[in-house]
Amino acid sequence: MVDPAVTPLWSQILGPWGLPREWPARIAIAIAVALFGIALTRAGRGPIPFGWSPRLRVLVAFFVPAFLSLAYVVFYLRGGPRIIDATTYFLQGRALDQGHLAWPLAEPSASYRGRFLVTHDGTLGGLFPPGYPLFLAPGFRLGAPLVMGPVLAGLGALATAWLVHEIVEASGPRAFTRDERDFAVRFAVLVSATSACLRYHTSDTMSHGLVAVLFLVAFAAAARARRRPGPGWPLLCGLAVGWVLATRLASFAPVLVCAVWLLAGASWRSLVPFVAGIAPFAWLLVASQRAVTGDPLASAQRLYYALSDGPAGCFAYGFGKDVGCVVEHGDFVAKRLPHGYGALEALLTTGARLRRHLADVANFEPLFLVWLAGAWRLDGTCAPGARNPIGRAALVLLALQVLAYAPFYFDGNYPGGGGRMFADLLGVEHALFAVGAVLLWRARPLVARGASLLGVSVLAFGLRGVHEHEHLRDRDGGHPMWDPAVLAQAHVERGLVFVSTDHAFASAYAPRQDPKTGIAIVRYRGDGHDRMVYEALGSPPSFKYVFEPGGPTPSGEIVSFVPPPANPLRLEAEAEWPALSQRGGHAWPVWTPETCSGSRALAVHPQQEKAQVTIELPVPAPGAYDVEPVVHHRSGSSGRGELRIEGTVFTWTNDAASTGCVSLGARKVPFATTTARAEIVAEGGEVALDVVLVSR
């Protein structure tokens, strides 16, 4: 890694630049050189004639960006979803294909619960809204879920061209020449296809690509409704805006305001079918929240963070000293929100998002100005007394999107995804970018303008932008943490498969799974949970999926594995995270010395004087057991702890000078059922439970 102290200032500001080492970037540079050649050779000539039929043009406009997104899946994603958000969407799409917004939680629950999954009243569900899983579900029905991203890329390019067409038509017959109209539509498709950030968001299973297309459809349908009054186009606009509501709630208000503004300019009566279009998706969102949380108005995301993170209320849409979750976003919060989330922190977080988003539109920050200028100059294209409101609506959309996410503390930026909170805007920005390419520098030939702008964009990706996507490709061992091809190569067609990562579980698990007829996925806990779930499922053939980042088998491998019986039964406390409930503080897994069991423990941190966390303690069958808790003494903490199990109380005081694990001694505890609720109480400081040993 280059030492920042000796890195040139321009490199620290603009990011890494360098000659390409791999073929995608080399192809991009070759294309850029060709585009610059076209710009020079066509500098004094008219547009390049196209003899293609309209149907062929549509097919090309669909399949070129779709193919590029498919290539992104293969080369950068290596054939599967990569970040935890994407794998959770993947799981929710599969579940929705099977008819589940939430599904029954089997026992022992720790073999199924985990990161980004919400537990409530015996059910399990994903924390994300249902809009994007609804789009993914048909892909699972077809047996090709990852094809939905490339399909979305093709639809997005067509929707971009449609919006450009509506912009041109709204400007009047004299605003653009025929050549300019044709050029703007075709150029919009090329801009959409060559946006590297949009390639990611139409490849990995993230919701922003869908929202970007829905923004386009909402704008284009509203613009068409202004030209052709009737209920159909406002209804389509409402369906698009409603789908945004069921996909990304914070992005709903900006597009709602702009859509209402555009529709009201035609007729207030058009708002009736518009609202009718929103209604079914509002119902879907309410039904999903009721299924996952038990409350139709409760956010699944907030419930998840209330059970898994802290301090209380950390996952807030707003400001305060306790805003910022220290488990999921710990490094970010420690570095940027040491005193909470206030006006200054909001300004810096928004600035970080905008800085990344500038390059997302066309791979190079200065090109961001092209769409802004195009949107600003649209009114000047109309006849005297007329107006084209789409440009101003796009600028308002940008401003509202920035404001809508300002109260959210986490910037959400990561390699490949760019400034992802603003990625929803990319489609509309690409349409206005194409219009700006026509309206600016009109003295220059169209083809020369377009080839020059596109050449700069593609060259910037080849020399700089590609490094972000390579970083995404190489993270976490450079491969998805679950690869179904590994099972096929090992000829594993049925049985029980243990996986050790949250990514693998979300990528492979299905609510309807039977190890007798297919593959059943559970979490590998390395303790008694594994034996109990193995026996609960009928002791089927069982395997373990081993994935080691940087190991000799980058895609992972399948090994035979039968959880051994044990007495005493060892139940790791960290396997019970997220907790079933927590009050007055929060719990999370922490690393422990090697002398402790499993090298991790479940720490409970009081936010107030006392914290109470409830976890599950399963046993093979009802009856009396000898229960022996082992606690971890956390360095620097002198907290007092209690563990309450079925009326039996274990107490201890943390030894701040020690970092080892000690037993609290065994006591006989009667279990009326196979699951008990264990309460961990921390008072005066942090305490940690390492493991519970259970024996008959």
Average pLDDT value for residue range 353-382: 91
Please report which confidence band the pLDDT of residue 46 belongs to, taking 50, 70 and 90 as the band edges.
Answer: low
Separation of CA 586 from chain center: 24
Alpha-helical regions (H) of 109-248: 131-142, 148-170, 178-193, 196-201, 208-227, 232-245
Give me the count of residues in the chain: 696
Q: Nearest CA to 176 among 186, 165, 162?
A: 165
Q: Where are the domains of the chain?
A: 46-75+127-440, 484-568, 570-695
CA atoms within 13 A on the CB side of 67: 7
Q: What percentage of the chain carries pLDDT values higher than 70? A: 95
* Site of tokens 């720790």: 110
The predicted pLDDT at position 164 comes to 96
pLDDT of 5 strictly over 60:
no
pLDDT band at 486 (very low <50, low <70, confident <90, very high): very high
Q: Which of the four pLDDT bands, split at 50, 70 and 90, describes residue 6?
A: very low
Q: Is the peptide bond before 108 cis (omega within 30 degrees of 0)?
A: yes
Look-up of token digits 């099972």: 487
DSSP letter assigned to residue 331: H
pLDDT (tens digit per residue) in 508-555: 999 989 999 999 999 999 999 999 999 999 999 999 999 988 777 888
27 three-state secondary structure:
helix
Min mean pLDDT across 308-322, 327-341, 628-642 is at 628-642
Q: Which two tokens stand for residue 683?
A: 């008072």
- DSSP SS3 for 156: helix
What pLDDT digit, counting tens, does each position of 328-346 carry? 999 999 999 999 999 999 9
Site of tokens 């698009």:
240
- Indicate if the pLDDT at residue 12 is higher than 60: no
CA angle 126, 129, 133 (to 5 degrees): 75
How far, in Å, CA of 550 to CA of 34, rounded? 38
Mean pLDDT of the chain: 92
pLDDT grade, residue 584 (50/70/90)?
Answer: very high
pLDDT of 204 higher than 50: yes
pLDDT band at 171 (very low <50, low <70, confident <90, very high): confident
Residue 361: which of 474, 471, 465, 469 has the closest Cα?
Answer: 465
Percent of the chain with pLDDT over 90: 80
Predicted confidence at residue 256, as pLDDT, reads 98
CA atoms within 13 A on the CB side of 41: 7
Express each pLDDT in 414-472 by its tens digit. Answer: 999 999 999 999 999 999 999 999 998 887 888 889 999 999 999 999 999 999 999 99
Least confident span in 82-91, 374-383, 506-515: 374-383
pLDDT reading at 4 higher than 70: no
* pLDDT of res. 3: 44
- Give the Cβ contact number of residue 381 at 10 Å: 22
pLDDT band at 378 (very low <50, low <70, confident <90, very high): confident
Pairing between β-strand 600-606 and β-strand 687-695 as defined by DSSP bridges:
antiparallel
Asked if residue 578 has a cis previous peptide bond (ω within 30° of 0), the answer is: yes
- 580: helix, strand or coil: coil
Q: What gap in Å lies between CA 654 and CA 224, rounded to an integer? A: 68
Q: Is the peptide bond before 541 cis (omega within 30 degrees of 0)?
A: no
Q: Say if domain 570-695 classifies as CATH 2.60.120.260.
A: yes
User: Residue 101: helix, strand or coil by DSSP?
Assistant: coil
**515 upstream amide cis, omega within 30 of 0:** no
CA 32, 33, 37, 39 torsion-angle sign: positive
Give the pLDDT confidence of 549-573 residue by residue, as tens digits: 877 788 899 999 999 998 899 999 9
DSSP helix/strand/coil, 53: coil
In this model, does residue 43 exceed pLDDT 70? no
- Structure tokens given for 169: 């038509």
**229-247 tens-digit pLDDT:** 889 999 999 999 999 999 9
DSSP per-residue codes, 634-646: -TT---EEEEEET
What angle do helix axes 343-360 and 389-405 make, rounded to 10 degrees? 130
Token pair for 518: 């297919």
Q: How far apart are CA 99 and CA 512, in angstroms?
A: 10
The owner of tokens 């059910």 is 123
Residue 250 pLDDT exceeds 80: yes
Cα(587)–Cα(310) distance, integer angstroms: 8
pLDDT in tens, 260-305: 999 987 788 889 999 999 999 999 999 999 999 999 999 999 999 9
What is the C-alpha separation between 524 and 451, in angstroms, rounded?
54
Report the pLDDT value the prediction gives residue 383, as an integer from 0 to 100. 60
